[in-house]
Amino acid sequence: MDFIITLVNGLSMGGTYAMIALGYTMVYGIAKMLNFAHGDIIMIGGYAILVGLSVNPLLAVLFSMLFCMLLGVLIERVAYRPLRGSSPLAVLITAIGVSYLLQSIILAIPQFGADTHYVVIIKDLGSLQIGEVLIGYDTIITLAITIVVMVSLTLFIKFTKTGRAMIAVSEDRDAARLMGINVNFIITLTFAIGSVLAAVAGFCSLLDTPWLEPYYGSLPGIKAFAAAVIGGIGSIPGAMLGGILLGIVECLCNSVQEIAPYTIAIEFIILILILLVKPTGILGKKRREKV
Amino acid sequence: MALLEVKDLEVNYGLIKAIKGVSFDVNEGEIVALIGANGAGKTTIMHAINGIIPKFAGSVTLADKDITAIHAHKLLPLGMAQVPEGRRIFQELTVYENLQMGYYIGRDKAQFKARLEEMYSRFPILKERSSQIAGTLSGGEQQMLAMSRALMSGPKLLLLDEPSMGLSPLYVNTIFDMIKEVNKMGTTVLLVEQNAKKALSIANRAYVLEIGKIVKTGTGTELLADEDIRRAYLGG
């Protein structure tokens, strides 16, 4: 029974990682850059929820999604777009700079500062009992959200014109331009979607870990990045798979007392092992050139 | 009337002057070829016309509209489509989805269907493989797909960059037949080719490009008969 509970918890935690990993992978695939500020969007989303909670929990979450979306678009417009075409290293350093900037902004706001805030979005959530299995509603909510997000994102990419334009841009930006696709718009849209997903992941994460501080997004961000790499960065199903895999591994490790302290080390060892066997990640493809 | 007019075009790669003042025009209904050796600047001119690389100087007009500084993605709505060098089809999408991308700017479902059928009847192999991932097609099939994709938007002017590159002679003939046919049906064609003989045989007019400059111009038949051209490009 314990194993099932651990597995369900792992799936739910993995879902949160997957939603963050989707942001990394989509931005990498389409804008060809690593957005290391992505984890901090989660943190900002958390603070947006904190602010919104004074009104209403549901509005707080919606406000957080909207705020993060606008923030993601703004960051792309102001920090990354002027660097398009310059060296990847410059973009990477800028992304790290944006990450510190977001953390510092929170530190600089007197109401927030470096303090840890206890964020209760839904009071006394309780648990669902099925036979001997007891599963927290936070886990169930996260799982449900993850499924909805993944299904709708997959449908959007596969079956809408804009979704396919995103694949086209990720594959060949110039050829996409020749089709009349506005590449700047597609990149903006990618940042918007990725940031909304980060806000949603922030909400799920707060249900589980309600202690919000300015570095709240750093570790989930790095882990989700690892998840995206495990799955094959640039691949959307890969990010989902990598995230869920990482979540399950994490919960399994945490459930064994002797192994629990080494969970993070084990996760990154798995990353290294997978990259040794398959350098492009599980579902990552090596681009073939046909002449 | 000139549909496309390129005037004093200059393109630099850093300090290197790749295109040193090139002027040419393409009249409505014509097939115009731009021939030259490897590195003469043919593809650079194509990329400069469609705005993928910046122009240093000069101007480009399409149907009397100045398109010198226009964004690449706004050219298709103006009626200029391009088949890029190396075909550049979307390898991860299916054949059908590639053709759909070709109609990205369109909104009319009936028109899309009609054009799709037109492409399928022109190249039945594309219909057969419509749900196949485009990356699995052979080089020749990919070229057919790339041309069909460009024609999906119903362009007035079609830019073709090295359509024969890497193809077997059989496919080269198919592709050139299609270029003639497309032209007959009213699409103006600007063709960039290394295969000078083939290009000159279907072109109304042609320009010869050497290290970033136009050195000769004439009708296709004139240039085919020209001694210098024969020696330099047609193998004696």
- Per residue in B119-151, pLDDT (tens digit) is 999 999 999 999 999 999 998 999 999 999 999
Q: Note the pLDDT of residue B232.
A: 85
Give the tens place of pLDDT for each residue, A113-145: 999 999 999 888 888 888 888 889 999 999 999
pLDDT higher than threshold 90 for residue B152:
yes
pLDDT higher than threshold 70 for residue A288:
no
Which range has the worst mean pLDDT, A252-261, A279-288, B133-142, B225-234?
Answer: A279-288
Q: Are the C-beta atoms of B146 and B88 separated by less than 8 Å?
A: yes
Residue A263 within a domain:
yes
How far is the first Cα of chain A from the last one, in angstroms, to the nearest whole number?
56
Residues in chain A: 291
What distance in Å separates residue A171's CA from the closest CA in chain B? Answer: 7
What distance in Å separates residue A61's CA from the closest CA in chain B? Answer: 35
- Phi and psi at residue A83, in whole multiples of 5°? -95, 5
Q: Considering only CB atoms, which chain A residues are within 8 Å of B82?
A: 178
Residue A284 within a domain:
no
Q: Note the pLDDT of residue A2.
A: 83
Q: Helices A2-31 and A161-171 sit at what angle, rounded to 10 degrees?
A: 70
Q: What is the CA radius of gyration of chain B?
A: 17
Alpha helices by DSSP H, B64-186: 95-102, 109-122, 124-128, 139-151, 169-184
Q: Note the pLDDT of residue B51.
A: 87
Taking the CB of residue A50, how many other CB atoms lie within 10 A of it? 19
User: β-strands B188-193, B213-219: how paired?
Assistant: unpaired
Q: Note the pLDDT of residue A287.
A: 58
Interchain contact, B165 vs A183, CB within 8 Å: no
Q: Are the C-beta atoms of A197 and A215 separated by less than 8 Å?
A: no
Q: Residue B76 has what DSSP assignment?
A: G
Q: Are the C-beta atoms of B63 and B221 separated by less than 8 Å?
A: no
| Chain B positions touching chain A (beta carbons under 8 Å) | 50, 52, 71-77, 81-82, 84, 86, 88-93, 97, 100-102, 104-105, 135, 139, 142, 149-150, 153, 165-166
Q: Are the C-beta atoms of B206 and B223 separated by less than 8 Å?
A: yes
Interchain contact, B88 vs A175, CB within 8 Å: yes
Q: Are the C-beta atoms of B109 and A264 separated by less than 8 Å?
A: no
Q: What percent of chain A has pLDDT over 90?
A: 87
Give the tens place of pLDDT for each residue, A60-101: 999 999 999 999 999 999 999 999 889 999 999 999 999 999
Average pLDDT over residues A217-241: 94
Work out the pLDDT band at A291, boundaries 50, 70, 90.
very low
Residue A25 within a domain:
yes
Average pLDDT over residues A9-30: 96
Residues in chain B: 236
Q: Note the pLDDT of residue B179.
A: 94
Residue A291 within a domain:
no
How far is the C-alpha of B172 from the C-alpha of B1, rounded, in Å? 30
- Phi and psi at residue B42, in whole multiples of 5°? -65, -50
Residue A169 within a domain:
yes
Q: Note the pLDDT of residue A134.
A: 87
Q: Considering only CB atoms, which chain A residues are within 8 Å of B86?
A: 291
Domains of chain B: residue spans and CATH: 2-233 (3.40.50.300)
Q: Note the pLDDT of residue A289.
A: 45
- Count residue pairs from A and B with Cβ separation < 8 A: 77
Q: Which tokens in the block code for residue B20? A: 């040193």
How far is the C-alpha of A114 from the C-alpha of B17, rounded, in Å? 56
More confident residue, B233 or A184: A184
Which amino acid does the sequence have at A22? L
Q: Note the pLDDT of residue A129.
A: 87
Residue A282 within a domain:
no
Q: What is the total count of domains within chain A?
A: 1
How far is the C-alpha of A287 from the C-alpha of B95, rounded, in Å? 18
What residue has token string 């089709």?
A: A179
User: β-strands B188-193, B157-161: how paired?
Assistant: parallel
Interchain contact, B72 vs A179, CB within 8 Å: no
Pick from B73, B88, B100: CB nearest A180: B73
What residue has token string 């399994």?
A: A252
Work out the pLDDT band at A290, boundaries 50, 70, 90.
very low
How far is the first Cα of chain B from the last one, in angstroms, to the nearest whole number?
35
Using DSSP, state whether B61 is helix, strand or coil.
strand
A179 Cβ under 8 Å from any chain B Cβ? yes
Residue A194 within a domain:
yes
Interchain contact, B90 vs A168, CB within 8 Å: yes
Give the tens place of pLDDT for each residue, B167-183: 888 889 999 999 999 99
Q: Are the C-beta atoms of A18 and A228 separated by less than 8 Å?
A: no
How far is the C-alpha of B178 from the C-alpha of B184, rounded, in Å? 10
Give the tens place of pLDDT for each residue, B67-120: 999 999 999 999 999 999 989 999 989 999 999 999 999 999 999 999 999 999
Q: Are the C-beta atoms of A204 and A145 separated by less than 8 Å?
A: yes
Residue A287 within a domain:
no
CB-based burial, B140-169: b 16+ in 10 Å, e otherwise: bbbbbbbbbbbbbbbbbbbbbbbbbbebee
What is the pLDDT of chain B when averaged over all its residues? 92
User: β-strands B16-27, B2-13: how paired?
Assistant: antiparallel
Domain boundaries, position A249: 2-277
Q: Report the candidate in A238, A241, A197 with the shortest Cα–Cα distance to residue A221.
A: A197
Look up the CATH number of the domain holding residue A13: 1.10.3470
Q: Are the C-beta atoms of A216 and A31 separated by less than 8 Å?
A: no
Q: Which tokens in the block code for residue A103? A: 């953390």
Interface test with B, best of A84, A161, A166, A179 (most B CBs within 10 A): A179
Quick one: CA dihedral B68, B74, B75, B77, positive or negative? negative
Q: Which residue of A has its CA nearest to B91?
A: A171
